[in-house]
């Protein structure tokens, strides 16, 4: 009975929240600020757009999927050019699916990966890639298979996610070599990694032997760790996929032709220039929906949405969210250069949701999807945004994940606020993923309670931001939570803070310059800092020392003392009286223009930022102060009219401040609490306790 009662009350509260009056997230009730102009090809002062990528790692692939056996038979020819300044005779390749070969790989041993414990006795959870042969083609043709060995740079001799072969004839600088590789793979179950099969849904990513990147004078080809992503060179992909007829197929690039083989199979050939990876998906259940992005000033893009039938009602929301990403990111970085983009709505139970690949990405949604949760909008904008920060600006996700995830998280929040308005408070329960774009659990929303940009990232930063210095390789973070904080939340808030300090116009110029200069390239954090210094004409190294290269948290607060200039008889000078506000003292005889006020700004955190302070006086005047924020505190004193309000960072420039609640003081209230935030906190507290009680009782 208690379970039924709690369940009924939960459902009632959720339904009340869904129908609560107030502005909705998709109708912010006001004019949104315009986007800056789209820069043309001759935009003054901006680097020119490159016409093409270096194309030094191009693949021609033929692959056959057997969905009954869950296997792929493949062969490829890799055309690779040595862009280094030295002869090379060893060549490493990624074999990502060997991460699921057994429970001893570096991925399986990652403490965030529970699949090896949960499904170690289920054969379907395993997957692998086996290279049958690898040959060097051309005048110096050579069978390299006997030289094949597995590399273990992390010391795990059981890991087989990186193989290396050696050629007797070195490849000289500028020389092009061709490798022919034959391999077969077992496709893992789709709940254990970013790729795999669920039901008849096959999401095939990181699936072929892929050469590493020769970068900074050495090979960069790390093992596949539990929470790291990927890094590769750009090239041209020509891929022919053979599978049973009746599958709806989507892939990187454009469909060149589709052939009926007369044996119950079809071959789909996709081609795409200037990308650094190739991914594909196949399912009989997909609904194929089409849209177009053709805003003035942008290249036209065909949007293809492969949708689960139960999510048919979300088709236009998916497509419009993709347009939002192409519009905003194309303005803030570089225009999207490819003629098509494919959006995949992943199958229920698949772990492939929320992932990015060149010209194709996965979203994620629930049947009940209130607009206030901005799902599927949030995940769609974010993953489409990776076409820019990862797809076009090809940073090293192994070593500097924040250049991808952090930049993208920052731009996602900015794009969603601009296009959809501030989101209403919302959270899903009985599911494993919370926050903006949550895709699991029951929805509970409060449409009229707006959450400022960056608030959810600030909560995560406050909880775990001191675990690690941000700027370290992704696999060296203490745990998966620290990886997420330092790759997503902290860099996003840092860039939002930089925007506040530089101003939006300058920040957009920084992003445009960086994106254009390093389009189809592999920039580093140092490259981005150099762009900031170049565009602003100032040295911002200090800013990044306090943020990117630090584990320190930022927190400023304000304290105010108000007392009569000539204390009345019997005035008590202790802290209780000194903190008594104006009106009670008025009744003790002090006039409104006979007050002394002291406003003390305190640096509670270790990170140091310049801050502004706005002080409001009882006579209606407002005084703006500035402080470099480097000492522990700074005091400002005022005589005459009493202080009635004091705010640190009144314009919200310091987004990285982890405790904004102590930034404001208001007469008769002490530390201020905005009414909406207070209401939301109380509502959240009671609903959360009720839901968690229901979970315990159940």
pLDDT in tens, 332-350: 999 999 999 999 999 988 8
| 69: pLDDT strictly greater than 80 | yes
| 412: pLDDT strictly greater than 70 | yes
Domain count, the chain: 2
Say if 73 falls within a structural domain: yes
Report the alpha-carbon distance of residue 544 to residue 527 in Å, rounded.
12
630, HSE (Cβ side, Cα atoms, 13 Å):
3
Which regions of 618-697 does DSSP assign to beta strands (E)?
622-627, 633-640, 643-648, 664-666, 670-671
Per-residue CA distances from 472 to 26, 162, 221, 480 (Å): 38, 21, 17, 14
To the question of pTM greater than 0.85 for the whole model, the response is yes
CA 53 to chain centre: 24
Q: What is the pLDDT of residues 262-314, one digit of tens each?
A: 999 999 999 999 999 999 999 999 999 999 999 999 999 999 999 999 999 99
Residue 76 vs residue 37, higher pLDDT: 76
CATH of the domain at 150: 2.60.40
Which regions of 501-572 does DSSP assign to beta strands (E)?
556-564
> Of the candidates 212, 233, 254, which is a domain's last residue?
233
> Of the candidates 200, 233, 266, which is a domain's last residue?
233
Say if 642 falls within a structural domain: yes
| 579: pLDDT strictly greater than 50 | no
Residue 614 vs residue 676, higher pLDDT: 614
Question: For residues 210 and 77, is the Cβ–Cβ distance under 8 A?
Answer: no
Report the alpha-carbon distance of residue 437 to residue 439 in Å, rounded.
6
Nearest to 556 by CA among 649, 434, 622, 421: 649
Cβ neighbours of 31 (radius 10 Å)? 6
Say if 183 falls within a structural domain: yes
Say if 152 falls within a structural domain: yes
> What is the DSSP secondary structure assignment for residue 412, as one 8-state letter?
H
Give the percent of the chain with pLDDT over 90. Answer: 69
Task: Give the pLDDT band of residue 24 (cuts 50, 70, 90).
Answer: very low
Q: Label the pairing between strands 301-307 and 356-357.
A: unpaired
Nearest to 408 by CA among 523, 329, 474: 329
* Phi, psi for 35 (deg, rounded to 5): -75, 150
Nearest to 28 by CA among 482, 594, 423: 423
| 72: pLDDT strictly greater than 80 | yes
Report the alpha-carbon distance of residue 188 to residue 98 in Å, rounded.
10
Nearest to 403 by CA among 231, 534, 212, 554: 231
Say if 119 falls within a structural domain: yes
Q: Of 299-308, 435-444, 637-646, where does mean pLDDT reach its minimum?
A: 435-444
Report the alpha-carbon distance of residue 472 to residue 419 in Å, rounded.
34
| 575: pLDDT strictly greater than 90 | no
> Of the candidates 620, 637, 653, which is a domain's last residue?
653
Say if 475 falls within a structural domain: no
Say if 425 falls within a structural domain: no
Place of tokens 């799902």: 375
Task: Give the pLDDT band of residue 18 (cuts 50, 70, 90).
Answer: very low
Task: Give the pLDDT band of residue 461 (cuts 50, 70, 90).
Answer: very high
Nearest to 65 by CA among 214, 243, 195, 245: 243
Enclosing domain of residue 644: 556-653
Residue 695: what pLDDT?
A: 35
Residue 16: what pLDDT?
A: 36
Q: Which residues contact 392 (CB under 8 A, 6 or more apart)?
A: 333, 334, 337, 515, 519, 520
Residue 337: what pLDDT?
A: 97
Place of tokens 């929301």: 317
| 11: pLDDT strictly greater than 90 | no
Report the alpha-carbon distance of residue 198 to residue 190 in Å, rounded.
5
Say if 30 falls within a structural domain: no
Mean pLDDT of 103-122: 62
| 658: pLDDT strictly greater than 90 | yes
Q: Residue 123 corresponds to which tokens in the numbers above? A: 């054969």
Mean pLDDT of 568-589: 43
Mean pLDDT of 404-418: 95
Question: Mean of the per-residue pLDDT values for the chain?
Answer: 85
């Amino acid at each position: 009975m208690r379970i039924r009662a709690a369940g009924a009350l939960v459902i009632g509260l959720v339904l009340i929240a869904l129908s609560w009056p107030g502005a909705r997230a998709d109708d912010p009730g006001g004019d949104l600020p315009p986007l800056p102009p789209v820069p043309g090809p001759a935009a003054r002062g901006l680097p020119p757009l490159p016409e093409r990528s270096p194309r030094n790692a191009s693949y021609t692939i033929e692959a056959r999927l057997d969905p009954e056996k869950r296997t792929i038979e493949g062969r490829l020819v890799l055309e690779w050019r040595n862009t280094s300044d030295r002869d090379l005779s060893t060549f490493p390749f990624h074999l990502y699916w060997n991460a699921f070969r057994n429970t001893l790989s570096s991925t399986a041993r990652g403490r965030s990966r529970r699949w090896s414990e949960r499904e170690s006795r289920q054969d379907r959870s395993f997957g692998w890639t086996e290279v049958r042969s690898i040959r060097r083609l051309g005048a110096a043709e050579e069978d390299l298979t006997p030289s094949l060995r597995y590399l273990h740079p992390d010391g795990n001799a059981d890991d087989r996610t990186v193989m290396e072969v050696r050629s007797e004839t070195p490849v000289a600088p500028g020389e092009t070599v061709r490798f022919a590789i034959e391999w077969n793979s077992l496709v893992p179950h789709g709940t254990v990694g970013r790729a795999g099969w669920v039901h008849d849904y096959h999401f095939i990513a990181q699936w072929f032997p892929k050469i590493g990147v020769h970068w900074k004078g050495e090979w960069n080809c790390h093992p596949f760790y539990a929470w790291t992503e990927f890094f590769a060179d750009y090239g041209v992909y020509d891929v022919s996929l053979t599978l049973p007829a009746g599958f709806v197929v989507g892939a990187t690039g454009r469909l060149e032709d589709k052939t009926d083989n007369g044996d119950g199979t079809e071959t789909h050939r996709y081609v795409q220039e200037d990308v650094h990876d190739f991914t594909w998906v196949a399912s009989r259940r997909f609904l194929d929906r089409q849209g177009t992005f053709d805003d003035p000033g942008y290249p036209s893009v065909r949007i293809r949405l492969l949708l689960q039938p139960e999510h048919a009602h979300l088709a236009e929301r998916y497509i419009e969210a993709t347009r939002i990403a192409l519009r905003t990111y194309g303005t803030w970085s570089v225009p999207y250069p490819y003629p098509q983009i494919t959006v995949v709505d992943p199958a229920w139970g698949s772990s492939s949701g929320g992932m990015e690949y060149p010209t194709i990405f996965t979203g994620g949604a629930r049947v009940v999807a209130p607009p206030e949760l901005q799902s599927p909008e949030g995940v769609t904008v974010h993953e489409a945004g990776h076409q820019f920060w990862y797809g076009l600006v090809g940073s090293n996700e192994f070593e500097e994940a924040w250049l991808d995830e952090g930049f993208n998280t920052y731009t996602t929040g900015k794009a969603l606020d601009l296009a959809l308005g501030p989101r209403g408070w919302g959270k899903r329960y009985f599911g494993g993923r919370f926050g903006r774009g949550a895709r699991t659990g029951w929805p509970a929303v409060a449409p009229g309670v707006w959450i400022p940009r960056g608030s959810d990232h600030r909560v995560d930063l406050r909880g775990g931001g001191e675990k690690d210095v941000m700027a370290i390789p992704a696999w060296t973070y203490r745990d998966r939570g620290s990886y997420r904080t330092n790759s997503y939340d902290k860099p996003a808030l840092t860039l939002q803070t930089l925007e506040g300090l530089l101003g939006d116009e300058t920040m957009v110029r920084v992003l445009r310059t960086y994106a254009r200069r390093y389009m189809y390239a592999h920039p580093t954090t140092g490259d981005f800092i150099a762009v900031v210094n170049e565009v602003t004409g100032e040295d911002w190294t200090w800013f990044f020392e306090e943020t990117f290269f630090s584990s320190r948290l930022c927190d400023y607060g304000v304290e105010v003392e108000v007392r009569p200039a000539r204390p009345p008889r019997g005035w008590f000078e202790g802290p209780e009286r000194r903190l008594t506000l104006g009106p009670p003292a008025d009744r003790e005889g002090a006039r409104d223009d006979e007050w002394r006020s002291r406003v003390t700004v305190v640096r509670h955190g270790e990170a140091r930022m310049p801050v502004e302070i706005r002080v409001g006086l009882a006579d209606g005047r407002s005084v703006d102060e500035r402080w470099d924020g480097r000492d522990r505190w700074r005091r400002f004193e005022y005589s005459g009219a009493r202080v009635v309000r004091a705010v640190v960072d009144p314009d919200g420039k310091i987004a990285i401040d982890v405790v904004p609640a102590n930034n404001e003081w208001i007469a008769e209230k002490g530390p201020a609490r905005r009414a909406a935030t207070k209401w939301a906190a109380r509502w959240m507290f009671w609903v959360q306790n009720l839901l968690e009680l229901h979970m315990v009782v159940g």
